[in-house]
Structure 1
Amino acid sequence: MIRMKKSIKDQDQTTESETPNYEIIELQKSFETEELRFSDILKRSEIFEENHESPVEITLMMETFENSLEKVPKFDFKEKSGSPKSDVILNIDGVKLYANKILLAIHSKVFDSMFYSEFVEKNQTEIILEDDDPEDFIEILKLIYPSAGSTIIQESNVEGIYKLADKYFMTHVMFQCEHFMETSKDYSVRDWLVAEKYDVPELMKKSKPTFVRQLAESIDF
């Protein structure tokens, strides 16, 4: 909602401390159906000012929609019906996850080569992934799929997600994990070990004091 208001001074107004009256006009736009341009606002305000002597004050008011998240799909990767447009099964330790080749290839150099180069997996509808944790892979899928049920990177899952992201060259997911760890208020020995293992200089620098301190405390003990 765009609200424009012009102060209207009473004819007999004698002090500046008195609260002015306002003439208000509203320009409403639905963000779901209409495009709102700043030029539209300026044009409307210019027309408004032409007919009034006082300056125009513009207030932008944004309304949120409680049901907006309901329009974003939620995926159940363990069920074919819960993962529309799936065209490949990822078999991880006997757990079958239904995914989309194109989406995987966009986010992963490994899957891009696997599905769109001359590898045997190119024409397979089920791929066996070894030495992976299916629950961690589900978290990866939630991160790359446009879903209202998107995973939130946190202490309990960041290492597992980062391990898979590194293995499959998912650089964007790796960046998200690194950002989470680098901006953490409380660094841990785990952060330093992850940084050292996967060569993340900034995280290594920030978490090193914690690592050294806790190492010294364990030696003193």
Structure 2
Amino acid sequence: MILVVDGRKFYVSKTYLSYQSRYFANLFSEASKDSGRSEMELKDVNPEDLQYYLDILYGGNGIDVNGILVIAKMYNTPLVLHKCEEFLIEKSELELRKKLELAGKYGLDELKKLCLDRIITKEDILSVLPENINKMDHESMAEILKKTLALI
């Protein structure tokens, strides 16, 4: 199957992609009704992010974790979400605030726990609070409130 994004073509295995993503399984199932269709256009996707997503899915190392997470969540691909979480835990040098934000936004529970465990001091608490506190997920905010109260 050929996926087309903004005129750029991506050659993929329908079987593998369907196995990894319920979104693609449903999409390809619908496309099979048009039996002669070998190309499918995807909208609302950045082609570079899709390239990173496919790279991760097929065993490579992506570069833009945030872009990959957007697509992995959009296309419901647990394997890619897990690989991104592993990267963020083991190799990423992103600041703690950004990691905690990504963990909350994409349901990366292991990363969230690790980030929250690293918050020990008042300075740590201040460093992870976003400018707009309403954007933080409720679970993280509750844990930070508990840590704040423990310091009083």
TM-score for both structures, normalised by structure 2: 0.66
Code of the aligned partner of 2:7: G
Alignment gaps of 5+ in structure 1: 1-87
2:51 to 138, 141, 152: 138
Q: Percent identity?
A: 28
User: How far is 1:162 from its partner?
Assistant: 1.7
In the alignment, which of 93, 107, 126 is matched to residue 199 of structure 1? 107
State whether residues 56 and 83 of structure 2, in contact with CA within 8 Å, keep that contact through their aligned partners in structure 1. no
1:166 — aligned with what? 73
Paired with 1:98 and 1:184, the residues of 2 have a C-alpha distance of: 29
Residues 89, 97 of structure 1: 8 Å contact kept: yes
Q: State which structure, 1 or 2, has the greater radius of gyration over its C-alpha atoms.
A: 1
Asked if the contact 1:108/1:171 (under 8 Å) is kept, the reply is yes
In the superposition, relative to structure 1, how do residues 169 and 202 fare at CA in structure 2: closer, same or farther (>3 Å)?
same
What is the alpha-carbon distance in structure 2 between the residues aligned to residue 90 and residue 211 of structure 1? 44
Corresponding residue for residue 86 of structure 2: 179
Mark the CA change 1:127 to 1:176 in structure 2 (over 3 Å): closer, same or farther. Answer: same
User: Which 4+ residue blocks in structure 1 deviate beyond 4 angstroms?
Assistant: 184-187
| Bigger relative contact order, structure 1 or 2 (CA pairs below 8 A, ≥6 apart) | 2
The one-character-per-residue Cα deviations of 1:43-96 (angstroms, maximum 9, x if unpaired) are: xxxxxxxxxxxxxxxxxxxxxxxxxxxxxxxxxxxxxxxxxxxxx221112222
CA contact (8 A) 2:3 2:40 kept: yes
Q: Distance in 2 between matches of 1:179 and 1:169?
A: 17
For residue 138 of structure 2, what is the aligned residue in structure 1?
A: none
Structure 1 counterpart of 2:24: 111
Post-superposition Cα deviations, 1:128-163, rounded to whole Å, max 9, x if no partner, equal: 211111112122222333xxxx5324xx41111122
The answer to whether the 8 A contact 1:101-1:115 is kept is: yes
Distance 1:94 1:215 in 2: 40
The residue number in structure 2 matching 1:212 is 125
Question: Alpha-carbon deviation of 1:176?
Answer: 0.8
- Cα distance between partner residues in 1 of 2:71 and 2:91: 21
Q: Runs of 5+ in structure 2 lacking a partner?
A: 132-152
Matched to 1:151, the amino acid is G
Post-superposition Cα deviations, 1:9-57, rounded to whole Å, max 9, x if no partner, equal xxxxxxxxxxxxxxxxxxxxxxxxxxxxxxxxxxxxxxxxxxxxxxxxx
- Counterpart residue identity of residue 106, structure 2: Y
Structure with a larger share of its residues in helix: 2
**Bigger strand fraction:** 1
- State whether residues 100 and 128 of structure 2, in contact with CA within 8 Å, keep that contact through their aligned partners in structure 1: no
Answer yes or no: is the 8 Å Cα contact 1:192–1:207 preserved in 2: yes
Residue aligned with 2:103, SS: helix
Give the Å deviation of 1:184: 4.2
Alpha-carbon distance in structure 2 between the residues aligned to 1:132 and 1:182? 26
